Amino acid sequence: MRLSRYFLPVLKENPSEAQIVSHRLMLRAGMIKQAAAGIYSWLPLGFKVLRKLENIVHEEQERAGHIAIQMPVMQSADLWRESGRYDDYGQEMLRMKDRHDRDMLFTPTAEELVTDIFRGHVSSYKDLPLTLYQIQWKFRDEIRPRFGVMRGREFYMKDGYNFDLTKEDALHAYNRHLVTYLRTYERMGLQAIPMRADSGPIGGDDTHEFLVLAETGESEVFYDSAVTDLTFGDRQIDYDDRGQCQSILEEFTSKYARTDETHDEALFNQVPEDRRRVARGIEVGQIFYFGTKYSEPLGATVQGPDGKPVPVHMGSHGIGVSRLVGAIIEASHDDKGIIWPEGVTPFHCGIVNLKQGDDEADAACEKLYAALTVLGLEPLYDDRNERAGGKFATMDLIGLPWRITVGPRGLKNGVVELTCRRTGESEELSPEAAVTKIAEIYERIA
């Protein structure tokens, strides 16, 4: 993409309505624009990042054998009355009537709807286990939406639902989801700590939230600092191996890590004092096991091995995809702007032409642009007739991990400058060597 042809409405000043870093930088970098309180339009740069995150989520869900579907954003209230949640959910649910005076709602979550799909099409234990998931827009009518996409009313979310014959089978699905989430977040450049949490309106006894540590987090968290030393890495996982999935769950949840709703001071005091930490965290996902809470009232049963009907055991598993954009920025920025991890960056590198209109500089930039594109990479070429300082400021603000700077002086010596956004370190390389290095960096994280 050439910046002269791109829609990137960056702002020079900090927006007065933005209270936290991610909201401020997303507005300044031209990623979003507020349409109403807690509701945003996603502009091209923000939309590219959102799609990058969505693709990672899809890849990891499919790796675990989960099956994607798409459910509607509007639901009938009748299903929620069947489950008993319609009146219990509270004012966060946006209720409305259609032209035929039928009660409808804008989806805040989809346990009822997916259970209705299941009960209409699955009748035998031989069709289990089954996990269905979607990535879809949701709406919760927050009383005070704030912090941009971190606490908006409309949000983009992955929600998955497992159906299993027994509790033991469903707990394996729970463990499997925990493993997929660890992989997902690390691919995004995040350390998301699974913490014992409260189930809230979803229900159930077993639940973990995944939290990214950040000063602006809405949750107070208590944890053993040893959990921050854990990494998933490039382990090869057999998702059908119950023992392997269980051992990973134990590895990542055996150390104390809880949100304020489930904090136990006595247990926390058993952690060595030098490892006790109290901080704030941003919730980016949650997994639940809730047994037959929905299958029994909604009649989601299968014929068991003995021929008798059995209510299926269920769980639900969410990832806040749009919220993750803000969480990544909160965890990865400096005073100049965003610093995208390589795995989620909207463009793989920026190309800055220091002297637009100079034949040699223009030709070198075009050659770099073509070479990177041929390798399947997406460069953002700043070909505007602007001052160098303004071009650097834009690149720093939007946070591309790598920048290639091209100018007449360097070209006389046969070199361009390759700069790492995270460290600020630069090196002079031939244009060919710069392309090779960028390609190798992204090949390692593919």
Mean pLDDT of the chain: 94
Residues 294 and 374 in one domain: no
In the predicted model, is pLDDT for residue 240 greater than 60?
yes
What is the DSSP secondary-structure string of 170-189? HHHHHHHHHHHHHHHHHHTT
Does residue 327 sit in the same domain as residue 410? no
Q: By the 8 A CB rule, do 228 and 365 touch?
A: no
Final residue before a domain boundary, out of 338, 365, 398: 338
* Residue 289 is assigned to a structural domain of this protein: yes
Q: CA 416 to CA 120: how far, in whole Å? A: 62
The torsion region of residue 333 among left (phi > 0), alpha (psi -120 to 50) and beta comes to beta
Instruction: Answer for the pair 105, 74: CB distance below 8 angstroms, yes or no.
Output: yes
Taking a C-beta distance cutoff of 8 angstroms, is the pair 331, 164 a contact? no
d(CA 197, CA 210) in angstroms, rounded, equals 9
Task: Tell me whether residue 248 is in a domain.
Answer: yes
Indicate whether 13 and 155 sit together in one domain: yes
Read off the pLDDT of each residue in 70-82 and give the average, rounded to a whole number: 94
State the Cα–Cα distance between residues 262 and 351, nearest whole angstrom: 49
Looking at residue 199, its pLDDT comes to 57
> Using 50, 70 and 90 to split pLDDT, how confident is the model at 215?
confident
Query: How crowded is residue 386: how many other Cβ atoms within 10 Å of its Cβ?
Result: 16
CATH number at residue 360: 3.40.50.800
Q: How many domains does the chain have?
A: 2
List pLDDT tens digits, range 47-65: 999 999 999 999 999 999 9
The pLDDT of residue 372 is 97
Domain boundary among 284, 313, 338: 338
433 shares a domain with 289: no
- 165 with 255, same domain: the answer is yes
How far apart CA 142 and CA 127 sit, in angstroms, is 39
Which pLDDT value is given to residue 205? Answer: 56
Out of 49-63, 188-202, 229-243, 397-411, which region has the weakest mean confidence (pLDDT)?
A: 188-202
Q: Which residues contact 206 (CB under 8 A, 6 or more apart)?
A: 171, 174, 288, 289, 315
pLDDT tens-place string over residues 121-135: 999 999 999 999 999
Q: What is d(CA 295, CA 94) in angstroms, rounded to the nearest whole number? A: 24
Mode of pairing for the β-strands spanning 276-291 and 206-213: antiparallel
- Residue written as tokens 């979550």? 109
Annotate 372-401 with DSSP letters as a single string. Answer: HHHTT--EEEE-SS--HHHHHHHHHHHT-S
Residue 227, in any domain of the structure: yes
Residue 344 in domain: no
Other beta carbons less than 10 A from residue 8's beta carbon: 17
Same domain, 319 and 385: no
| 130, β-bridge pairs | 163
What's the CATH number where 122 sits?
3.30.930.10
Half-sphere exposure of 434 (CA within 13 A, CB side): 30
The one-letter amino acid at 183:
R
State the first-to-last Cα distance of the chain, in angstroms, to the nearest integer: 21
pLDDT in tens, 153-212: 999 999 999 999 999 999 999 999 999 999 999 999 999 999 987 755 444 458 899 999
C-alpha to C-alpha distance for 135 and 155, rounded to whole angstroms: 10
Buried b (16+ CB within 10 A) or exposed e, 97-120: eeeeeeeebbbbbbbbbbbbebbe
Q: Is 289 in the same domain as 397?
A: no
411 pLDDT band (50/70/90 cuts)?
very high
Taking 50 as the threshold, does the pLDDT of residue 115 lie above it? yes
Cβ–Cβ < 8 Å for 188, 56: yes
pLDDT at 16: 84
H or E element in which residue 360 lies: helix 359-374
Q: Which of residues 280, 308, 338 is at a domain's end?
A: 338
CA distance 188 to 340: 9
Are residues 235 and 329 located together in one domain of the fold? yes
Poorest-pLDDT segment among 107-111, 349-353, 365-369: 107-111
Residue 185, domain extent: 8-338
Whether 3 is covered by a domain: the verdict is no
Is residue 265 located within the same domain as residue 353?
no
Going by C-alpha positions, the residue among 105, 38, 111 that lies closest to residue 74 is 105
Question: What is the pLDDT, as a whole number, of residue 318?
Answer: 95
Q: What is the mean pLDDT of residues 81-97?
A: 90
- 16 shares its domain with 48: yes
pLDDT digits (tens, 9 = 90+) for 298-337: 999 999 999 999 999 999 999 999 999 999 999 999 999 9
The answer to whether residues 271 and 369 belong to one domain is no
Residue 262 domain-assigned (yes or no): yes
Q: Is 72 helix (H, G, I), strand (E, B) or coil?
A: coil
Structure tokens at 296: 């029994």
Q: How many CB atoms lie within 10 A of CB 7?
A: 8
CA distances from 119 to 68, 81, 148, 206 (A): 18, 16, 38, 24
Find out whether 381 and 1 touch, Cβ atoms under 8 Å: yes
Q: Is residue 108 located within the same domain as residue 158?
A: yes
- Please check the confidence at residue 146 and state whether its pLDDT lies above 90: no
* Backbone torsions φ then ψ of 16, nearest 5 degrees: -65, -25
